[in-house]
Amino acid sequence: MSNRKHNFCAGPCTLPVSVLEEMRDEFIDYHGAGLSLIEMSHRAEEYDAVHQEARRLALEVFRAPEDFDVLFIQGGAILQFAMVAMNLLPPGRRAGYVNTGTWAKGAIADARHYGEIYTAWDGAADGYTRTPEDSEIEVKDGTRYLHITSNETIGGIRFPKFPAVDVPLVADMSSELMARTIPWDRFDLVYGGVQKNLGPAGMAMVFIRKSVATPASESLARYLRYDVHLDKESLFNTPPMFTIAMVGKVLKWMKAKGGLDVIEREAAEKAAILYRRIDESGGFYACPVHPASRSHMNAVFRLPNEGLEARFLADARSADLLNLKGHRSVGGCRASIYNAMPRASVEALADFMQRFRAEHS
């Protein structure tokens, strides 16, 4: 499509055009069935094929080992903040939370109602501009899991390496879910909303080590139990069929591109284009994040003053470069460059940054 704009939104976010076109073309009459996929029973043969393929591809593309399964659960990553503790944290144990910023704080705020939680590291002293070294993380006795936010969408920081600690990791990977390879042996659970790298809003994906799915308490509603979703292959109740169908198509697109290694390398390259433009701007653009912790998904930067930032955002918009405003809680600018963001769009932004600086510095 000729009218397509460059969408740097932090989420929901840009999706592959080919996937959008495929969904549009089959939207009303699904492969000659005489009805839309979204009008079908979730027990229908046609939908079941879509559902099972999405599950299979999620495990395959993310290279999850055999002792893991994937769950599709509504409520976004936010509901997982609670479910992780409800299911994984029994009385008498505790869980460490690495506080790297806005989303880590959210995880702590919700988990604390369902078990003993402590802060294993806090980035407050550095203004949440970096992730910790392993040696800085305090893991207390009796810790069931260490929770990390692998990428902070608002702060624009990420863990360049996953912590090597003596307890299992649980990670909120929402903004870099399936954008990088992970050392599965260190993890019990990985979760994230799909509305950044994988599809439209409407569910979280939870990759869970099957042996830990039995909930810490029997006194838990069925929708909130991982074992229920696991046993029913995410068909315990009517699933968000449209979102799952879209995620399946995006996963197929990822696989055709060459899978996770290619995705991860492209992400590093796309991010490098922007950080280079920032670092070589003689201070016109400034990224507050420690270089080693810079996100490959969300590049945050400031301009010399708020007036120039406003001008930058307005001019960018006129150049069809959309949604570059930083989160309202921190201001500044942010370019979110998830899996489906074409390299050409990143280059268009880098060119624009060059021109804008030449005009205004």
Which residues belong to the active site?
Answer: 103, 172, 196
CA distance 216 to 88: 6
Q: Closest distance between a copy of itself and the C-beta of residue 74, in Å?
A: 4
CA distance 337 to 329: 20
Q: If binding is defined by CB under 8 A, does position 221 make contact with a copy of itself?
A: yes
Considering only 53-61, 234-242, 285-293, 294-302, which stretch makes contact with a copy of itself by CB under 8 A? Answer: 234-242
Say which amino acid occupies 355. Answer: R
- Considering only residues 50, 57, 69, 76, which one is a binding residue for a copy of itself as defined by CB under 8 A? 76
Of the candidates 15, 6, 14, the residue with the CA atom closest to the CA atom of residue 349 = 6
Considering only 54-62, 71-79, 128-136, 142-150, which stretch makes contact with a copy of itself by CB under 8 A? Answer: 71-79
DSSP letter at 251?
A: H
- Considering only residues 137, 139, 201, 350, which one is a binding residue for a copy of itself as defined by CB under 8 A? 201
Site map 95..134 versus a copy of itself, x via CB under 8 A? -----------x--xxx-xx--------------------
Q: If binding is defined by CB under 8 A, does position 220 make contact with a copy of itself?
A: yes
Please list, in sequence order, all residues whose beta carbon lies within 8 angstroms of the beta carbon of residue 162, skipping any fewer than 6 positions away.
148, 150, 169, 171, 182, 183, 186
User: Do the beta carbons of residue 286 and residue 301 sit within 8 Å?
Assistant: yes
Please list, in sequence order, all residues whose beta carbon lies within 8 angstroms of the beta carbon of residue 125, skipping any fewer than 6 positions away.
none
Q: Closest distance between a copy of itself and the C-beta of residue 116, in Å?
A: 13
Q: Closest distance between a copy of itself and the C-beta of residue 296, in Å?
A: 20
Q: If binding is defined by CB under 8 A, does position 200 make contact with a copy of itself?
A: yes
Considering only 6-14, 49-57, 146-154, 286-294, which stretch makes contact with a copy of itself by CB under 8 A? Answer: 6-14
Q: Where do the H-state alpha helices sit in 201-259?
A: 226-231, 241-257
Of the candidates 130, 112, 113, the residue with the CA atom closest to the CA atom of residue 121 = 130
Q: Is 34 or 282 the residue whose CB approaches a copy of itself more closely? A: 34
First to last CA, the chain: 35
User: Do the beta carbons of residue 231 and residue 69 sit within 8 Å?
Assistant: no
Residues that bind a copy of itself (CB under 8 A): 1, 3-5, 7, 9-15, 17, 20-21, 23-24, 27-29, 32-36, 38-42, 44, 74-79, 81-82, 106, 109-111, 113-114, 193, 195, 200-203, 219-224, 236-243, 246, 320, 322-323
